């Protein structure tokens, strides 16, 4: 991938930090912007391939990945406009799960947008495991696709699919965790064991099940459940 294409990242929360770490592992350069200079400097110093980007430099980027909360994206763009910065040559990559890129195009018709939604938990993304991105632009913007393929799989698809999948998986996971916690409490388990079951045993078994690598004990229980 050509390093003449300048990539920026706005947002250094869990997703932003995971993206930065993944691109750094691949030897890719990322320019970091945050309004707080100290946080920007700290993020830039956390990765060999990262560098600080002042607000005035943002219009010179080819792509700016918006790893921001859904309700922060519009105010961020408005602040850039009010600062007199012309961002029209920069593709703004919307990653907020619940913010449709079409609504941004309607609100800011003079700007260039692309959607890239992460069907992955931030911690999984940070580790570089089972990473999937969905983008309506995956087929038409190869530069965008290649950048995110450095982190995992990228498929062409509708943004709403990711929101629905994330919501369904999160609801199921919370229900299962709450049910397990309640069951263990009713059975009289000590708090230490309950925390261990929720923090380690349950999530790792699910991970192994998804990867098809359950151990002998797990396979035996799975066979018993199927028979029931």
Q: What is the pLDDT of residues 194-207, one digit of tens each?
A: 999 999 999 999 98
How far is it, in rounded angstroms, from Cα 223 to Cα 154?
34
Q: Is the dihedral of CA 126, 32, 62, 4 positive or negative?
A: negative
Residue 228: is its pLDDT beyond 80? no
pLDDT, greater one: 3 or 77? 77
Residue 1: is its pLDDT beyond 60? no
CA atoms within 13 A on the CB side of 172: 8
Residue 108: is its pLDDT beyond 50? yes
pLDDT, greater one: 64 or 227? 64
What's the mean pLDDT in 32-41?
93
* CB burial of residue 172 (10 Å; 0-12, 13-18, 19+): exposed
What's the mean pLDDT in 173-193?
97
- Parallel, antiparallel, or unpaired for β 132-135 and 117-118? antiparallel
Two tokens, residue 88:
């029209």
What is the pTM for the complete model shown?
0.87
Asked if 17 and 42 touch (Cβ cutoff 8 Å), the reply is no
Q: What is the pLDDT of residues 129-160, one digit of tens each?
A: 889 999 999 999 999 999 999 999 999 999 99
pLDDT reported for residue 149: 97
- Parallel, antiparallel, or unpaired for β 50-52 and 63-66? unpaired
pLDDT reported for residue 22: 95
């Amino acid at each position: 991938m050509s390093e003449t294409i300048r990539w920026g990242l706005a947002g250094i929360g869990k997703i932003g930090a995971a993206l930065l770490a993944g691109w750094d592992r691949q030897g890719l350069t990322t320019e970091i912007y945050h309004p707080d200079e100290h946080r920007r400097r700290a993020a830039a110093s956390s990765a060999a391939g990262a560098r600080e980007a002042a607000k005035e430099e943002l219009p010179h980027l080819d792509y700016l990945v918006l790893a921001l909360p859904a309700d922060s994206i519009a105010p961020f763009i408005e602040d850039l406009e009010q600062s007199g910065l012309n961002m029209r040559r920069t593709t703004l990559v919307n990653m907020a799960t619940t913010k449709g890129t079409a609504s941004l195009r309607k609100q800011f018709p003079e700007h260039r947008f692309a959607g890239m939604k992460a069907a992955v938990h931030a911690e999984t993304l940070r580790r570089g495991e089972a990473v999937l991105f969905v983008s309506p632009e995956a087929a038409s913007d190869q530069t965008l696709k290649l950048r995110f393929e450095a982190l995992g799989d990228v498929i062409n698809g509708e943004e709403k699919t990711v929101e629905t999948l994330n919501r369904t998986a999160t609801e199921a996971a919370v229900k299962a965790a709450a049910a397990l916690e309640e069951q263990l409490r009713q059975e009289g388990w000590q708090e230490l064991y309950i925390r261990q079951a929720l923090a380690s045993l349950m999530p790792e078994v699910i991970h192994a099940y998804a990867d098809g690598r359950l151990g002998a004990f797990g396979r035996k229980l799975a066979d018993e459940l199927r028979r029931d």
